[in-house]
Chains A and B, each alone.
Chain A
Amino acid sequence: MATVFQSPGTATALSSNSFDSTKLLVPSRRSLSERKASFFCVRSEMKPTPIARRADNLVVNAVATKADSSASSTASKPGHELLLFEALREGLEEEMDRDPTVCVMGEDVGHYGGSYKVTRGLAEKYGDLRVLDTPIAENSFTGMGIGAAMTGLRPIVEGMNMGFLLLAFNQISNNCGMLHYTSGGQFKIPIVIRGPGGVGRQLGAEHSQRLESYFQSIPGIQMVACSTPYNAKGLMKAAIRSENPVILFEHVLLYNLKERIPDEEYICNLEEAEMVRPGEHITILTYSRMRYHVMQAAKTLVNKGYDPEVIDIRSLKPFDLYTIGNSVKKTHRVLIVEECMRTGGIGASLTSAINENFHDYLDAPIVCLSSQDVPTPYAGTLEEWTVVQPAQIVTAVEQFCQ
Chain B
Amino acid sequence: MALSHIATSSSRSNLLRPLTSALSCTSHSLRRPISSSAATDDSTTLTIETSVPFTTHKCDEPSRTVETTPKELLSFFHDMATMRRMEIAADSLYKAKLIRGFCHLYDGQEAVAVGMEAAITKKDAIITAYRDHCIFLGRGGTLLEVFAELMGRQAGCSRGKGGSMHFYKKDSGFYGGHGIVGAQVPLGCGLAFAQKYSKDEAVTFALYGDGAANQGQLFEALNIAALWDLPAILVCENNHCKDRKRGLDSI
A197 close to chain B: CB less than 8 A: no
Which residues on the A side are within 8 Å of B193 (C-beta)? Answer: 144, 147-148
Which stretch (A79-87, A115-123, A134-142, A250-258) binds chain B?
A: A134-142
**A143 with B190: CB separation less than 8 A:** yes
Return B178 CB to nearest CB of chain A, in Å: 7
Q: Is A187 an interface residue (CB 8 A)?
A: yes
- A135 vs B196: C-alpha distance in the bound complex, in angstroms? 19
Q: Mark B155-172, 1 if CB is under 8 A from A, else 0.
A: 011111111001011100
Beyond A129-B196, A137-B223, A144-B221, whether A183 also contacts B158 by CB under 8 A is: yes
Interface flags for A209-223 (1: CB within 8 Å of B; 0: not) read 000000000000000
CA distance A103 to B161 in the complex (A): 31
Mask, B176-207, CB within 8 Å of A = 1, is 11111001011111110111111000000000
Judged by a CB distance under 8 angstroms, whether B216 is at the interface is yes
A153: Cβ under 8 A from any B Cβ: yes
Contact B217 A140 (CB under 8 A): yes
Interface pair A171/B186, CB less than 8 Å apart: yes
Q: Contacts of A182 on B, CB cut-off 8 Å? A: 158, 161-163, 166, 168, 177
What's the Cα separation between A193 and B178 when bound, in Å? 21
Measured CB to CB, the closest approach of chain B to A106, in angstroms, equals 12
| Interface residues on chain B, number (Cβ under 8 Å) | 42
Inter-chain contact B224/A144, CB cutoff 8 Å: yes
Complex Cα gap A129–B185 (Å): 20
Residues in A whose Cβ lies below 8 Å from that of B221: 137, 140, 143-144
Interface residue SS majority, chain A: helix
Task: State whether B194 touches A175 (Cβ < 8 A).
Answer: no
CB-based contact A147/B224 at 8 Å: no
Q: How far is the CB of A376 from chain B (nearest CB, A)?
A: 27
Residues of A within 8 A of B180 (CB): 170, 174
Q: Which residues of B contact A305 (CB under 8 A)?
A: none
A144 contacts across to B, CB distance below 8 A: 186-187, 189-190, 193, 221, 224
* CB atoms of B187 and A134 under 8 A apart: no
Q: How large is the interface on A (under 10, 10 to 19, 20 to 34, 35 or more residues)?
A: 35 or more
Within 8 A of B (CB), among A105-156: 129-130, 132, 134-135, 137, 139-153
Most chain A CB inside 10 Å of its own CB: which residue of B159, B168, B194, B228 = B194
Query: Which of B157, B179, B216 meets A184, CB within 8 Å?
Result: B157
| B220 interface hit (Cβ, 8 Å) | yes
Residues of A within 8 A of B106 (CB): none
User: What is the CB-to-nearest-CB distance from B20 to chain A, in angstroms, rounded to a whole number?
Assistant: 41
Q: A385 contacts the other chain (Cβ, under 8 Å)?
A: no
Q: For residue A181, which residue of chain B has the nearest CB?
A: B161
Name the interface residues of B205-238: CB closer than 8 Å to any CB of A. Answer: 216-217, 220-221, 223-224, 227-228
Given contact pairs A129-B197, A183-B168, A184-B160, a sample of 17 additional A-B residue pairs in the complex whose CB atoms are under 8 Å apart: A134-B224, A135-B227, A140-B223, A143-B189, A144-B193, A147-B190, A148-B197, A149-B190, A150-B187, A151-B194, A152-B194, A174-B178, A175-B178, A181-B161, A183-B162, A184-B168, A187-B170
Binding site for B on A (CB under 8 A): 101, 103, 129-130, 132, 134-135, 137, 139-153, 170-171, 174-175, 179, 181-187
Please list 8 pairs of residues, one from A and one from B, whose beta carbons are closer than 8 Å in the complex, sorted by A's number.
Answer: A129-B196, A129-B197, A139-B220, A140-B189, A142-B186, A143-B190, A151-B191, A182-B177
Minimum-distance CB pairs A-B, first 6: A147-B190, A143-B186, A144-B190, A140-B220, A147-B187, A184-B158
